[in-house]
Amino acid sequence: MKRSKKIKQKKPDGPGSGVMSRAYFVFVLMFVFALLIIFKVAYIQIVEGAALRLKAEQGEYKYVDVDAVRGNIFSSGGNLLATSVPIFEIRMDPLTNSITDKLFADSVTWLARDLARIFGNRTQWGYKQLLIKARRDSNRYVLIKKYVSLEQLNRLKTFPIFCRGKYKGGLIALAQTRREYPYGELAKRTIGYSKSHANLYVGLEGHYNEYLKGVKGKQIKQKMASGDWKPFLSDKNIEPVNGKDVITTIDVYLQDVAESSLLRHLILNEAQKGTVILVEVSTGEVKAIANLQLDEKDGTYKELLNTAIGEAFEPGSIFKLPSLMVAMEDGIIGRTDSVEIGDGWTMYYGQTMKDSHVIDKDGWITPKESFVHSSNVAVSRIIADNYLGKEWEFVNGLKKLHLDEKLGIEISGEAAPFINNPKRTSWSKVSLPWMSIGYEVMVTPLQMLTLYNAVANDGVMVKPRFVKEIRDAGKTIKRFEPVIIDKQICSGQTIKMAKAYLEGVVESGTARNINNSVYKIAGKTGTAQIAGTDGYGKKNYNASFIGYFPAEKPKYSCIVLIHKPKAAGYYATTVAAPVFKEIADIVYAQEMDIHPRQDNVLSTEAIAENAFYNAVDLTENQNSTPDELTLLVKTNQSVPSFEEFMKMKKVPDVTGLALKDAVYLLENLGLKTSITGKGKVNSQSIKAGSPLRRGDMVQLVLKM
């Protein structure tokens, strides 16, 4: 019997076995993915976390610079010339916790009314809607007004809601500063200005910026929902360090005198511009520096450019001093008895040199007379005849006087001087004689004055100086002493001769119109034709006077430069010299220490002769005194010294006096005067015998 094979049958899979396999697979994938996520989170937290948190914080907070309060600039007498005044940006947080809905609703109308009244840039309705919208939109840093003064801020603190205090009233005042110049145009271009946003600093503001600017602080600010950045209180904030103060050499009173006199004569002569510089001889301290120029836009004179420092000019006849000083040093003047000028003209290689006026009918004058009477022919003859073929000796002689060097003063923009020489293409056969009288050379007014100041200072050339000290919180931390450029620019004999020449100009020469019997002035007039695009064809002139006083013991040197006078002629004698005289008279009357002891007692005749204003437009000046003085003047007796006047401390009776006598007495004792009418003084606004207070205005009424 065949045995049949047993066939094994495969056991079928149980239900759901395939699903489980797939489930396990998905689970594994999910587990791996979870591990990756956990790893990534850990990586972010541990490795990238600090950087990402910083980025998040930077989106909400930021560090900003906080400017320090800029230091002040003072005059030598302590007057503020430049200062930073506080101004504020006013914002409000209308959602501060203490401002309830009821308080806001009851007070917002009245707050809006007061804001509209004080600022005027929005109506009451406009301010009300601004505040309501800010509260509705959760704007906790709404801008109210920029550039608010301290006085306005103090008033804001009394307004509804704001009066509840710094934290309860929602008032936010962000302090800033604004640069102000209390004396306006006074020495404006010398003081300069600062514009920190443009990194622009000019004048003393620029040179001493490192002292003035202080040290910036740091402030954390938080970003608000409105997009504004609000200061955030934090111990990480760094307070700024305020700037230091600069004490200048400028004397506000003398600066005012210089500018007033210059302005008066610019108007009188219808000139384009003018410059005055007043320097203390021994120290080089610049006491006054005025630069006025006609503004064509409105027809007024303003400080537009610092021409005293930044603009070189052909000096004309005031350059005859250094020319003859070179000849003095070389012994030429000592060997020259006289110079032939003929009838006042001569020829140099086809070009005519002539004098502006007849000096001597005989046609011969001494070297001193050539300077005193400003003879172009004589001075050019002395130089041309003795330096022909030796031109470099003359040029080098001028260089020894430092006329080819910048002064290197604190204020930037000093123009470079120019002295022609045989190596230049501009040199010609006529260069030597024309240089001798101030052409083919260029100097700034301050550079020229520095030479004359050296002559007044017995040959010691000091650098002009604008700043005396740097102070921090009232304490001097740096003092600037006089800087000597040259201990002796030439021999003592040359200085002695130069001084005699300069005194002669005022005693008997081209500036004898400013001579007086009270004190001596030494100086030189200069009238220089200005070269234009057509050469010297068009007759435009610079009129200048430069010198020092008192000549016996010089205290101050001064230069006056008037550019393109039109009205009353162009000669320095009548255009520039009177400005110098006005300034010198006022300074001399003001400063008792420069009065010789024997001159402290003045006769009535001397006072009348020295009256420095003959016109009626007197404005600035000095002091006055008592009944005893009036009695002495009216009886033509000797007048007491100024010190005795001051001891009396009373206003004198000047009725019955001539105008020039009354004004001279009053202003030299510290009072200001204004005049109406003509003739002698009939009445005065301040009663005789009243207490004397310097600076008071006395109105004088004149009657024939």
Please name the amino acid found at residue 111.
L
516 burial class (0-12, 13-18, 19+ CB within 10 angstroms)? middle
Return the amino acid letter for 442. Answer: M
What is the distance between the alpha carbons of residues 98 and 157, in angstroms, rounded to a whole number?
Answer: 16
**pLDDT for res 247:** 96
Q: Is the pLDDT of residue 41 over 70?
A: no
Mean of the per-residue pLDDT values of the chain: 84
CA–CA distance, 295 with 261 (Å, rounded to integer):
18
Q: Let me know if residue 61 belongs to a domain.
A: no
Residues 6 or more apart whose Cβ sits within 8 Å of residue 457: 281, 282, 554
Confidence of residue 27 (pLDDT cuts 50, 70, 90): low
For the chain, the domain total comes to 3
Give 423's contacts (C-beta < 8 A, 6+ positions apart): none
Query: Residue 54 falls within a domain, yes or no?
Result: no
378/175: higher pLDDT: 378
The reply to whether 191 and 287 lie within a common domain is no
Measured N-to-C along each axis, helices 320-329 and 391-400 cross at an angle, to the nearest 10 degrees, of 110
Distance in angstroms (rounded) separating the CA atoms of residues 640 and 401: 45
**pLDDT band at residue 602 under the 50/70/90 scheme:** very low
Q: Is the domain of 86 the same as that of 105?
A: yes
Confidence of residue 225 (pLDDT cuts 50, 70, 90): low
Q: What is the pLDDT of residues 408-419, one digit of tens each?
A: 999 999 999 999
Give the per-residue pLDDT at 229: 67
Residue 609 has pLDDT above 60, yes or no: no
What is the per-residue pLDDT for 228?
64
Is a pLDDT exceeding 90 seen at residue 115?
yes
What is the token pair recorded at 69? 């309060």
Q: Is the pLDDT of residue 502 over 90?
A: yes
Query: Looking at the structure, do residues 305 and 228 belong to the same domain, yes or no?
Result: no
Distance, CA of 636 to CA of 283 (rounded, Å): 41
29 domain-assigned: no
Q: Which of 565, 592, 619 is the last residue of a domain?
A: 592
Whether 583 and 633 share a structural domain = no
Are 226 and 241 in a shared domain?
A: yes
At residue 430, the pLDDT reads: 96
CA distance 701 to 402: 53
The rounded distance, in Å, linking the Cα atoms of 558 and 318 is 13
**Within a domain: residue 674?**
yes
Q: Please report where in the chains the tokens 């520095």 appear, as a residue.
A: 450
Q: Alpha-carbon torsion 114, 120, 125, 128, what sign?
A: negative
* Domain around 454: 249-592
**Spatial separation of the C-alpha atoms in residues 58 and 52, rounded to whole Å:** 10
The verdict on residue 20 lying in a domain is no
Tell me: pLDDT of 611 over 50.
no
What distance in Å separates the CA atoms of residue 381 and residue 376, rounded to the nearest whole number? 8
Q: How many residues does the chain have?
A: 704
How large is the C-alpha radius of gyration of the chain?
Answer: 40
CA nearest to 319, candidates 501, 556, 500, 525: 525
Task: Output the six-digit token pair for 54.
Answer: 């910083």
- In the predicted structure, residue 679 carries a pLDDT above the cut 90: no
Span 694-699, average pLDDT: 77
Q: Among 69-73, 312-316, 446-450, 617-621, name the one with the lowest average pLDDT.
A: 617-621
490 φ, ψ (degrees, to nearest 5)? -165, -175
Select the more confidently predicted residue: 245 or 16: 245
256 and 372 assigned to the same domain: yes
pLDDT of residue 198: 66
* 280 phi and psi angles, rounded to 5 deg: -80, 125
245: confidence class by pLDDT, cuts 50, 70, 90: very high
Axis-axis angle for helices 492-508, 320-329 (nearest 10): 140
Q: How confident is the model at residue 634 (pLDDT cuts 50, 70, 90)?
A: very low
Task: Please say if the pLDDT value at position 603 is more than 60.
Answer: no
| d(C-alpha 507, C-alpha 511), whole Å | 8
Residue 16 located in a structural domain? no
Q: What is the domain-level CATH number for residue 396?
A: 3.40.710.10
pLDDT tens, position by position, 332-390: 999 988 999 998 999 999 999 999 887 877 889 999 999 999 999 999 999 999 999 99
Q: 426: part of which helix (H) or strand (E)?
A: none
Does a structural domain hold residue 13?
Answer: no
Report pLDDT digits (tens) over 474-501. Answer: 899 999 999 999 999 999 999 999 999 9
Pick from 248, 267, 283: which residue ends a domain?
248
Q: What is the distance between the alpha carbons of residues 548 and 460, in angstroms, rounded to a whole number?
A: 15
When pLDDT is cut at 50, 70 and 90, the band that residue 262 belongs to is very high
Same domain, 276 and 213: no
Same domain, 165 and 196: yes
**Do 267 and 222 share a structural domain?**
no
> pLDDT-derived band of residue 684, with 50, 70 and 90 as boundaries?
confident
**600, 643 in Cβ contact below 8 A?**
yes
Angstrom distance (rounded) from CA 310 to CA 186:
18
| Judgement on whether residues 360 and 276 belong to the same structural domain of the protein | yes
CB 432 within 8 A of CB 416: no
Asked if 239 and 259 sit in the same domain, the reply is no
Residue after which a domain boundary falls, among 230, 248, 266: 248
Q: Which comes out higher in pLDDT, residue 587 or 15?
A: 587
Q: Is the confidence at residue 216, as pLDDT, over 70?
A: yes
Q: Note the pLDDT of residue 600.
A: 42
Confidence of residue 529 (pLDDT cuts 50, 70, 90): confident
pLDDT band at 1 (very low <50, low <70, confident <90, very high): very low
Q: Are residues 98 and 147 located together in one domain of the fold?
A: yes
- The residues, any chain, with a CB within 8 Å of residue 240's CB and separated by 6 or more, are 66, 67, 68, 69, 214, 215, 216, 217
Q: Is residue 9 part of a domain?
A: no
